[in-house]
Amino acid sequence: MNDPQRLQDQADTLKTNIGAAFPGSRAVMRGKDLHTDLNDLDWLELYVFGITGRRFTTEQVQLLHGIWRLTSYPDARLWNNRIAALAGSTRSSPGLGLAAALAASEARIYGAGPGLSAYDFFTRAHHACSAGQALENIVADTLAKQRGIGGYGRPLVSGDERIAPAMELARRSGLDQGPFIRLAFKTEDILLTGRWRWRMNYAALVAALLLELGFDRMSYHLFISPIFFAGMPPCYLDATNRAEGLTFPLSCGTISYSGLAERRWEQASRQAGQTRGEKTNKEKGHGQKNSVG
Amino acid sequence: MTQKNPQERIHTTIWHEDAEPDNPFAAARCRCHGYDVYGDMLGQASWIEYLFLLFRGEAPSPGQARLLEDLALVLANPGPRDASVHAAMAAGVGGSPSAACLMAALAVGAGGLGGAREVERVMQQFRMWGTELAMWQQKMPDYAQMDAGGIWPAAEHPPGFDPHGVNCPTPIRQSLAHLSSLSDGTCLPWLQHHRQALETFAGMPLGIAAVAAAALIDLGFGAAQGEMLYLLLRLPGAAAHALEQRDSGYKKFPFFRIELGNDPGPTTLRNHDIE
C-alpha cells in the first residue's frame, strides 16, 4: 500500500511553475510578467501561451482566431447554445448559462468528442503511414473497430461551410499542405469513394490544423473547449430581450409518451408489501451487518 | 383556448402530461411511468422510491428502496476535504451563485479520481468481468485503456481503488459491510468477501467509488445511470458546506502558500539588474 507522505509533501503549499498572482504587485504566467512581458499579446495569444508556453506567428494567431470565429454560430437551436438561451429565458445569470453551455460542448456527437477522435486517428494514421502502412488499410481497420471516424460525417448535413474559409487562413500561414492536412483530405477521399459517403467536417480539419501547429492532445482539447463560445452570449441576450419564458416554450402536447399505461401506486405498494416480510427476515439474518470486514 | 398541434416532439417513455383545459402549457395531471405523481404517489411514495422509479421505470421493492436510501446516506456528504466539496466551498466563500457551487461540485466530482467517471468505469468492469476474481486479477492492470480516446483523461489507477490510500478507511469498510448485508444482488457481497484480495491485485485500498458501483449494479442500474446517480447523490453535502463557507467568509477559508519555481521577480528589479 501507499505512503501518505506523497500527500503530506503537497499539503498547504502549491508548488508550481505555471504562474501566480501577487495581489497589489504583479502576476506571473509561465515565468513571464503578465503586465509587462505579455502585455503585447491579444487575448487568444495569451490563452494559447497559457496552454502551450509558446508564442505563434501573426499568421498562425490569425488562423487560431479564425478557428474559433468560423464556428461561432449564434443559433439558439444548437444544443449547447440552447442551454445559454434557456438560461436567458428563465432569467438565470449570464455566467451560469454560458458555463453550462460551454460544459455541454464536450459532447459525443459534436465538439470535443469528434474532435478528439479525429486527433487520435490522425496521430495514429500519421505514425502508421510513416511506418509504411497504406492509409486505406488504416481507415478500414479503424472502421472495423469503431462505427466511424470522428470528424467525418456531420449530424445534420453532409457538407461543411467552415472548411473553405479555414483552409484560406491555413494557406496564409503556410499550413495548407502540411502532412496532417493532406492526411485529413486523403481520408476524406477514401471515405467518399466507399459506401460511407462521408465528407470531412470542421472537427477533423481543426484537429489536423492543431496537429500541424504542434499542439499535443491535452493542449488541443483545451484550445477547442471554448471553440463555440462567441455564439453563446448572443443567444443568452436574445432570450433576455424576449419576455421571460418565451424562448422554446413547450406545450403539454409536445410530449409524445410511449411508456406504460396508467397504473395505481397502491398496487406497487401492495406488491412491495408482499416481499416486505421476506426482506425483513433476510435483514434479520444479517445481524452483524454493521461489522467491518 | 385553442391549441395548435405542436410540430416538434419530445419522445419519452418516462413522463406523460394531460393539459389543463384552459392552458395547453400547464399540466393538470403528470404520470411517471404510468403513476399519477401528484394525484396518487404523493403521500404514498417516498422520495427514494420516486428516484428509483424515475431511473428504473418500476417501483422498488422495500429491500431495493432501503439499499438505495442507505447508499444515498453514504454518499450524501463526502466531507469538506473531498475535492468536489472543496470546489463547492471555493464557490460559496466568494459569494458565487448557489448553482455555481453545485456546478463546481459536479464538475470536480465528475472525474476519474473518486468521481462519477470512476463509478462508471467500475460498473463497466463489473459488466465485463462479472464476479470472476481471476478476471479482475488478469484485467485490472489494463486500467489505462478504460475510456481511452474520449474526453476524459486516461485512468491513472485501477478504477475503484484509492491511489493515495494506505489501508481501506473505516467508513468505507462500514459502508460496504452494511450495504452488502442489504443487497439481493451479487456484486456487493462479492466485493465484501474479496475486498482484500482485490486490494492486493490493485496495490491500493478500495475506494468509495467501488462500493457505490457495486450497490448501483445490485440495484439494477446501468453504468450511465450509475454515473448520473452518483453525481446527484453527492450534492447535498456540497451544498451545505458551500452555504456554510459563504456565511463564514474567505478570511477563515484556506488560501494556501505558493512556491513559484520560475518567478521572474518584479519587473522594476529586473530592469535595474539589466542596467
Say if A152 falls within a structural domain.
yes
Closest residue in chain B to residue A222, using alpha carbons only: B151
Say if B126 falls within a structural domain.
yes
Q: Are residues A97 and A156 in the same domain?
A: no
DSSP symbol at A106: B
Q: Are residues A92 and A126 in the same domain?
A: no
In three-state secondary structure terms, A130 is: helix
Secondary structure (DSSP) of B53-116:
HHHHSSPPPHHHHHHHHHHHHHHS---TTSHHHHHHHHHHHTT--HHHHHHHHHHHTTSSSSSH
CB-CB under 8 Å, A272 with B15: no
CB-CB under 8 Å, A92 with B99: yes
Q: Which of A31, A96, A251 sits opposite B6 (nearest CB)?
A: A251
Q: Is the dihedral of CA A109, A112, A116, A119 positive or negative?
A: positive
CATH number, domain of A126, equals 1.10.230.10
CB-CB under 8 Å, A289 with B44: no
Q: Which of A17, A250, A266 sits opposite B261 (nearest CB)?
A: A17
Q: Are residues A151 and A175 in the same domain?
A: yes
CA distance A128 to chain B (A): 17
Q: Are residues B29 and B133 in the same domain?
A: no
Q: Which of A2, A32, A116 sits opposite B151 (nearest CB)?
A: A116
Report the domain count for chain B. 2
Write out pLDDT tens, residues A223-264: 999 999 999 999 999 999 999 999 999 999 999 999 999 999
Say if A255 falls within a structural domain.
no
Residue B242 burial by CB count (10 A; 0-12/13-18/19+): exposed, middle or buried? buried
Q: Are residues A84 and A214 in the same domain?
A: no
The residue to which cell 476535504 is assigned: B81
Q: Are residues A204 and A124 in the same domain?
A: yes
In three-state secondary structure terms, A11 is: coil
Say if A141 falls within a structural domain.
yes
Per-residue pLDDT at B203: 96
- Tens digit of pLDDT per residue, chain B (275 long)? 555 677 899 999 999 999 999 999 999 999 999 999 999 999 999 999 999 999 999 999 999 999 999 999 999 999 999 999 999 999 999 999 999 999 999 999 999 999 999 999 999 999 999 999 999 999 999 998 888 789 999 999 999 999 999 999 999 999 999 999 999 999 999 999 999 999 999 999 999 999 999 999 999 999 999 999 999 999 999 999 999 999 999 999 999 999 999 999 997 666 555 44
Per-residue pLDDT at A287: 31
Per-residue pLDDT at A292: 32
Other C-beta atoms closer than 10 Å to the C-beta of A153 total 19
Q: Are residues A235 and A104 in the same domain?
A: yes
CA distance A126 to chain B (A): 16
Secondary structure (DSSP) of B159-184:
TTB-TT-SS--HHHHHHHHHHHHH-S
pLDDT, chain A, mean: 90
As a whole number of Å, the end-to-end CA separation of chain A is 18
Which of A3, A260, A280, A291 is best to mutate for the B interface (most B CBs within 10 A)? Answer: A260
CB-CB under 8 Å, B181 with A286: yes
Give the range of the structural domain holding residue B48, as residue numbers without chain letter: 15-56
Write out pLDDT tens, residues A26-57: 999 999 999 999 999 999 999 999 999 999 99
Question: Contacts of residue A31 in chain B, CB cutoff 8 Å?
Answer: 262-264
CB-CB under 8 Å, B15 with A257: yes
Ramachandran bin of A242, using left for φ above 0, alpha for ψ from -120 to 50, beta for the remaining angles: beta
Give the range of the structural domain holding residue A86, as residue numbers without chain letter: 71-110+230-247
Does B100 reach chain A within 8 Å, measured CB to CB? yes
CB-CB under 8 Å, B17 with A13: no
Question: Contacts of residue B164 in chain A, CB cutoff 8 Å?
Answer: 2, 4, 6-7
Report the domain count for chain A. 2
CA distance A163 to chain B (A): 24
In three-state secondary structure terms, A167 is: helix
Q: Are residues B74 and B102 in the same domain?
A: yes
Single-letter amino acid, residue B42: L
Q: Are residues B224 and B154 in the same domain?
A: yes
CB-CB under 8 Å, B205 with A261: no
Q: At what angle do helices A179-193 and A112-130 cross, to 10 degrees?
A: 100
Tally of residues, chain A: 293
How many whole angstroms separate alpha carbon B57 and alpha carbon A187?
A: 44
Q: Are residues B113 and B184 in the same domain?
A: yes
Cell of B6: 405542436
Q: Are residues A217 and A82 in the same domain?
A: no
Q: Are residues A200 and A143 in the same domain?
A: yes
Say if A25 falls within a structural domain.
no
How many whole angstroms separate alpha carbon A150 and alpha carbon A117?
A: 5
Residue A218 burial by CB count (10 A; 0-12/13-18/19+): exposed, middle or buried? exposed
Give the number of A-B residue pairs with CB atoms closer than 8 Å: 202
Task: Enumerate residue ranges in chain A where pLDDT < 70.
Answer: 1, 154-157, 267, 269-293
CB B98 within 8 A of CB B239: yes
Q: Is the dihedral of CA A266, A269, A274, A280 positive or negative?
A: negative
Residue B106 burial by CB count (10 A; 0-12/13-18/19+): exposed, middle or buried? buried
CA distance B257 to chain A (A): 5
Reduced 3-state DSSP string for B2-67: CCCCCCCCEEECCEEEEEECCEEEEEEEEEECCEEHHHHHCCCCCHHHHHHHHHHCCCCCHHHHHH
pLDDT above 90 coverage of chain A, percent: 82
Q: Are residues A239 and A210 in the same domain?
A: no
Per-residue pLDDT at B3: 57
